[in-house]
Structure 1
Amino acid sequence: MSDPNADLDGALFPLAAHRVAPGAVHLPGWLDEGRRRALLAACRGWARAPAGLRTVRTPSGPMSVRQLSLGWHWYAYGYARTVIDGDGAPVKPFPAWLGEWAEEAVAAGLPEEAPPAGAFDVALVNHYGPGARMGMHRDSDERSPAPVVSFSLGDTCVFRFGTAESRGRPWTDVTLRCGDAFVFGGPARLAYHGVPRTLSGSGPPALGVVGRLNITVRASGLADP
């Protein structure tokens, strides 16, 4: 099943919020120009060492997407306060403003699943270079049932959103463009999802992003011992 809005040029025709599945909502153009630039500037700072962008290695091999974490460091498959599978540095702090943006996105698209204020405490920043992709997976290492909020910058991608039962069909392919948000929680919180392809060079040139940046905000439900 395909996103009915996927054939429209979001830059010319602003799109309305679209419910992809129960508990999953696409919010086209949710980030305005000011927020896009602010988020990009923050990502560039976060990407620098220590605890900067790294190649993630999973039991099945290295990921083509480069990644960094904020608040808690994600590794395959758990969370830590240091980059235990990289340079060993303490993870960079999670900024309160990013959590507030995530709360606003949930309120706009999935208000029935709104978490308590301040629940968001983790972000994963993924950089998709040429040919990078993300296989079907679930965000299941958190202990909180709060929704996941995703922000997109740069190149357009095909975001494949499936079910909680398996990596296979049925799924919905959604076109995510620069500035879009995607929220999933409730019955869709553990749905399999992935990025089978990005459209290289499709992002707005004025923003200056090379490739695609995806900033995924989560509530870990974790506490230090």
Structure 2
Amino acid sequence: MDVELFPRERAEVAAGAVHVPDWLDEARQRDLLAACREWARPPAGLRTVRTPGGGTMTARQVCLGWHWYPYAYTRTVVDGDGTPVKPFPDWLGELGRRAVADTLGPDAVPDAPYDIALINFYDGDARMGMHRDSDEKSDAPVVSLSLGDSCVFRFGNTRTRAKPYTDVDLRSGDLFVFGGPSRLAYHGVPRLQPGTAPGPLDLTGRLNITLRVSGL
């Protein structure tokens, strides 16, 4: 059995930014993975995101509720097959609200419902550059859930993509929430740790489910 010498503990990475290891148990991870596999199917399925400068993101993405493309939201997959975006399920919104309550406290739970999910799939050498989640009209906390391979999650500051930042080891089942003074902090994924996904999950690569309130 693989046992941690020092068990991972909940940590406040920055003001308003909290990491909770193993927040999702194995059963919930399997259920969420099964849902992600259904959402990734066409129409409005997993796609490669192209930036205005002609580049491509190495992590592929599927959206629920509102479709994100650089740098706006629409109700259809305007940079893909043109079909309506898949609906955002109520149970996923409730999961997001519980995540905020468990990390930032009940007073931080937004009045408006969570209505956006951005689901990124990382395989092989996929990365995510430092960026801010700033296309929403709401300042509600962002909820991030991890499935599959572990990654280095780099959480920075609100002023610049450069230091200071903190590197966090995100593993399957981990929760990361950021709101309040950290809501617009730069963050990214500089590297994956291939082959670290839990065996029973039967997933090669990493899925990141990010929940947001659009304010639209």
**TM-score relative to the length of structure 2:** 0.95
Distance 1:129 1:10 in 2: 26
Specify the code of the residue in structure 2 equivalent to 1:105: A
Shift of 1:12: 7.1
| Residue 103 of structure 2 is aligned to residue 93 of structure 1 | no
In structure 2, what is the equivalent of residue 37 of structure 1?
A: 30
In structure 2, what is the equivalent of residue 114 of structure 1?
A: 109
In structure 2, what is the equivalent of residue 19 of structure 1?
A: 12
| Residue 153 of structure 2 is aligned to residue 170 of structure 1 | no
Q: Deviations over 1:152-182 (max 9, x none)?
A: 0000000000011010000000000000010
Alignment equivalent of 1:66, drawn from 60, 63, 74: 60
Runs of 4 or more consecutive aligned structure 1 residues displaced over 4 Å after TM superposition: 9-14
Shift of 1:59: 2.2
In structure 2, what is the equivalent of residue 49 of structure 1?
A: 42
Distance 2:140 2:187 in 1: 17
Distance 1:10 1:72 in 2: 41
Distance 1:57 1:48 in 2: 19
Distance 1:155 1:204 in 2: 8
Percent of residue pairs identical: 65
Distance 1:50 1:220 in 2: 22
Distance 1:125 1:87 in 2: 17
Q: Deviations over 1:23-63 (max 9, x none)?
A: 10001100011110110000000000000000000124100
Distance 1:13 1:72 in 2: 40
Matched position secondary structure for 2:78: coil
Distance 1:102 1:209 in 2: 23
Specify the code of the residue in structure 2 equivalent to 1:221: G
| Residue 177 of structure 2 is aligned to residue 183 of structure 1 | yes
Shift of 1:16: 2.5
In structure 2, the gaps of 5 or more residues are none
Flag the 1:204–1:75 CA change in 2: closer, same or farther, 3 A.
Answer: same
Flag the 1:87–1:12 CA change in 2: closer, same or farther, 3 A.
Answer: farther
Alignment equivalent of 2:187, drawn from 183, 187, 193: 193
Distance 1:35 1:189 in 2: 26
Distance 1:138 1:13 in 2: 32
Specify the code of the residue in structure 2 equivalent to 1:63: M
Give the aligned length.
213
**TM-score relative to the length of structure 1:** 0.92
